A and B are shown apart, each in its own frame.
Chain A
Amino acid sequence: MNYFNTDIQATHDALVSGAQTASDLVAATYANIATTDAKIDAFLALNPDEAKAQAAALDAAGIAADQPLAGVPVAIKDNILTDGLTTTAASKILANFEPIYDATVVTKLKEAGAINVGKLNLDEFAMGSSTENSGFKVTKNAWDQSRVPGGSSGGSAAAVASGQVLLALGTDTGGSIRQPAAFNGIVGLKPTYGRVSRWGVIAFASSLDQVGTLTRSVKDAALGLNVIAGHDEKDPTTADVPVPDFTEKLGQSIQGLKIALPEEYLGEGIDPAIRTKIEAAAEQLRALGATVDTVSLPHTKYAVPAYYIIASSEASSNLQRFDGIRYGFRAKDVKNLTDVYVKSRSEGFGPEVKRRIMLGTFSLSAGFYDAYFKKAAQVRTLITRDFEQVFANYDLVMGPTTPTPAFKIGDKVTDPLTMYMNDILTIPVNLAGLPAASIPAGFVDGLPVGLQLIGKSFDEATILQVADAFEAENDYLAQIPGGAQ
């Protein structure tokens, strides 16, 4: 069975009433994945033994009415550690890596009774915008298998969009949840930096990385965030702030909410057909009672260069640990210890990861630090201030998630710079640490378009409120991709 005509609530109700057992659901989910994944290639590993055991235990104990995710099959991006289940970050350097503990988000999902059916493909170490940088396989877009699913959470987005699971976890460092969600016509939610624990998440750029959800509906995103959010003593960068019930504002009127539409988000480089969709979305939000005004975020165009210096610098530092000694791939035929490091890294990492390590090492090296890393970190302050000024007067910022719909597999992979520019609309959010979501906003030539909603720090609830109101006005969820079925 697929998950096109249901959601977490309906699935939960069927489990509680006994109309469905968790064991049957898990078996049906795997049967569907076996068929659809031949075309989509979303999964790197399946987890049938643990999933079936967990389902059987839940069926025996009964599904609690107050645990909406209990018995619901979910899947996890493969840069998030799962105890005893191979976790690769889609890198050959971790091809055989078996974690000895669960990431906090995985522990929380398990405690909520969610069933992890498997691990999802990504760009190696989450570095990329198309999932073509995976060391193992290329995932396909759910709507058109000749196109990329976006990235880096391309496996997560394609799995949800093709009806394989109701919810997948992803990570977002520069748009890696929102961009693939946009490319696949689903909801991708990147929470505020500090809202969700990163403990047990393989680090890419520690000041930017954040875990979030990919789902078909806004309510499912809220239910997912309810489970994974919260302070974690194991991650000192999580905020010790109250966690609301993220479903609380769903269904509430958006009358009187003030929304800002930055002129830079509809400017040069944005596909005119996408601009038209976003302008139409603004009209719909106005009709629902919100005000939408044009504003300026003047430093937007500097976000891509600042991001690639900052993220690559942090990555070059984080990825020093992959040295072939304690875990991961170790090269053969080495002459001395330095050789172990150099050959293990050179053979284990793929080309994009090496490119970022090189860029980061260069930016942090003697003589270039001030001109590159420090300058980028100052520009980051200006980008953050742009948002602060707008949020002094507005509740939300809206715009497109991506400049174009999903591109063809192979189109950009040989040209890193063109690939990087694809992230121009999502990167500023990570630099400022804000929460944001991409939600379906229609189609251009049969390909989904994403509407991005950016909120104030720790105000995911307002994003979800407006997203839910917009979703209710449209029938995008009724349109399902045919290719994989």
Chain B
Amino acid sequence: MITKDSVAHVAELARLEFSEEELQQYTAQLDEILTMVDQLETVDTTGVPVTTQSIHLQNVMRADVAEPATATEALFKNVPTKKGTLIQVPAIIDKEED
């Protein structure tokens, strides 16, 4: 059983925020999903290795050759706000503490 408090904690880790109503809805839905997931407990996985990829390649190398870099202008094409070649962001320190 996942609690509303732990859902709120996970939201903080995921950099998401929810209204009280959304928090209740997500708690109920995640609880239902995790109950479905709990059937994995019935599978005996003693000594079974994990699979995190299906292609089994290791240490894929390429030649260390310098190539033309992407133009700075192109890299800034989707930046919301900028000054020259700097990305402009809001103040890191809370505005109300100014």
Contact = CB atoms under 8 A, between A and B. Distances in A.
Contact of A416 (B7, B33, B74, B75): B33
A382 B36 contact: no
B62 interface: yes
Interface stretch (A20-28, A219-227, A275-283, A336-344): A336-344
A181 interface: no
13 contacts: A193-B55, A194-B55, A233-B62, A237-B60, A304-B36, A306-B40, A335-B90, A336-B91, A342-B15, A346-B18, A376-B37, A380-B50, A416-B32
A305 interface: yes
Interface in A331-356: 334-343, 345-346, 349, 354-355
B1 interface: no
B77 A358 contact: no
Interface string A291-330: 0000000010110111011000000100010011111101
Rank and list the top 5 A-B pairs by shortest CB-CB distance, nearest first: A433-B54, A327-B78, A377-B50, A236-B60, A378-B45
Contact of A302 (B43, B70, B90): B43
Contacts of A342: 15-17
A330 B15 contact: no
A189 to B, nearest CB: 17
Contacts of A326: 78-79, 87
B15 A323 contact: yes
A50 to B, nearest CB: 17
A218 B32 CA distance: 40
B47 to A, nearest CB: 9
B7 A237 contact: no
B95 A336 contact: yes
A69 B71 CA distance: 32
A322 to B, nearest CB: 10
Interface string B42-66: 0101001111111101001010000
Interface in A120-170: none
B20 interface: no
Contacts of B70: 100-101
Q: What does DSSP make chain A's interface, helix, strand, loop or mixed?
A: helix
A341 B15 contact: yes
Of listed B15, B34, B91, residue having the most chain A CB within 10 A: B15
A197 to B, nearest CB: 13
Say which size band chain B's interface belongs to. 35 or more
**How large, as a class, is the contact surface on chain A?**
35 or more
Nearest to A381: B51
A355 B87 contact: no
Contacts of B36: 304-305, 308, 417, 420
Contact of B16 (A306, A357, A420): A357
B69 interface: no
Nearest to A234: B62
A149 B41 CA distance: 35
B33 A382 contact: no
A377 B52 contact: yes
A239 B53 CA distance: 13
Interface of B: 2, 6-7, 10-11, 13-18, 26, 29-30, 32-34, 36-41, 43, 45, 48-55, 57, 60, 62, 70, 74-75, 77-81, 87, 89-96
A305 B35 CA distance: 10
A5 to B, nearest CB: 39
Quick one: which of A98, A327, A345 has the most chain B CB within 10 A?
A: A327
Nearest to B13: A361
Contacts of B51: 377-378, 380-381, 384, 431
Contacts of A328: 78, 80
Nearest to B71: A100
Contacts of A2: none
Contacts of B55: 193-194, 237, 239, 433
Nearest to A100: B74
A330 B80 CA distance: 7
B39 A357 contact: no
A436 interface: no
Contacts of A432: 54
B90 A334 contact: yes
Given A305-B40, A372-B37, A335 B96 contact: yes
Contact of A336 (B77, B80, B94): B94
A340 B89 contact: yes
A98 B78 contact: yes
